[in-house]
Amino acid sequence: MKAFMGVVIIIFFLSALAWCQENIVKLTLNESIEQAIKGNLDVKIAETQFQRMESEVAKNEASFKLKANLQAAPANWIGKINNFNYRPEANLSANLLTKSGTTYSFNIEEGKGDGGLKATLFSLTLTQKILPHPRVNPSYLSLKKSLLNLRRNELSLEEQKNHLKFEVRTSFYNILKQKREIELEKLHLDQAKENLTLVKDKLKKGLANELDLLNAQLDVVSAEKKLFQNQNRLKRYLTEFKNLLGIGSYTKVELIEESEYNYEPLKIRLNQAIEEALRNRVEIKQQKLTIQTCKLDLALTKSKSSPSLNFSGGYNYSYGGEFPLKEREEYKASLTFEIPLLDGGEGRAEIREAKENLRESELNLEKLKRNIITEIQNYFLDLQEKGKQIEFLKLSKEKYQIDLIIAQEMFYSGSITKDELREKEIAFKQAQIDLLNALLDHEIAKSRLLKSIGKEL
Tens of pLDDT, residue by residue over 72-97, are 887 776 766 666 677 778 899 999 99
| Banded model confidence at residue 16, pLDDT cuts 50, 70, 90 | very low
Give 410 or 11, the one with higher predicted confidence: 410
CA 287/CA 289 separation, integer angstroms = 5
Do residues 305 and 347 touch, judged by C-beta distance below 8 A?
yes
Cis peptide before 132 (omega within 30 of 0): yes
Mean pLDDT of 236-244: 95
Quick one: pLDDT at residue 378?
A: 96
- The predicted model scores a pTM of 0.82
Is pLDDT at 342 greater than 90 in this prediction? no
Contact status, residue 239 vs residue 225, Cβ threshold 8 Å: no
Q: What pairs with residue 103 in β-bridges?
A: 97, 127
As a whole number, mean pLDDT of residues 222-250 equals 95
Of the pLDDT bands very low, low, confident and very high (cuts 50, 70, 90), residue 323 is low
Domain 25-78+153-259 has CATH 1.20.1600.10: yes
pLDDT tier at 388, thresholds 50, 70, 90: very high
What sign for the dihedral angle of Cα 364, 360, 134, 143?
positive
Backbone conformation region of residue 345, classed left if phi is above 0, alpha if psi is from -120 to 50, else beta? left
Instruction: Look at residue 247 and give its three-state secondary structure.
Output: coil
Give the β-pairing of 77-80 and 83-86: antiparallel
pLDDT at 5: 53
Least confident of 147-156, 257-266, 375-384, 389-398: 257-266
Supply the pLDDT for residue 322.
Answer: 65
| Per-residue pLDDT at 161 | 95
DSSP 8-state code for residue 325:
P
Backbone angles phi, psi at 116, to 5 degrees: 80, 10
Q: Is the preceding peptide bond at 88 cis, omega within 30 degrees of 0? A: no
Q: What is the pLDDT of residue 18?
A: 45
Same fold for the pair 25-78+153-259 and 268-305+345-457: yes
Q: What percent of the chain has pLDDT over 90?
A: 63
What is the pLDDT, as a whole number, of residue 17?
A: 44
pLDDT digits (tens, 9 = 90+) for 192-211: 999 999 999 988 888 889 99
First to last CA, the chain: 62
Q: Could you tell me which residue, 327 or 191, shows the higher pLDDT? A: 191
pLDDT (0 to 100) of residue 116: 63
Domain ranges of the chain: 25-78+153-259, 268-305+345-457
Q: Assess contact for 120 and 110: CB atoms under 8 A.
A: yes
The length of the chain is 457
**Residue 21: helix, strand or coil by DSSP?**
helix
Better pLDDT: 360 or 2: 360
What pLDDT band is residue 321 in, cutting at 50, 70 and 90? low
CA 442 to chain centre: 24
How far does CA 261 lie from the centroid of its chain? 29
Q: Which residues contact 160 (CB under 8 A, 6 or more apart)?
A: 42, 43, 46
Q: What is the band of 316 on the pLDDT scale with cuts at 50, 70, 90?
A: very high
The CATH number of domain 268-305+345-457, selected from 1.20.1600.10, 3.40.50.170, 3.30.470.20, 1.20.1250.20: 1.20.1600.10
Average pLDDT, rounded, for the chain: 88
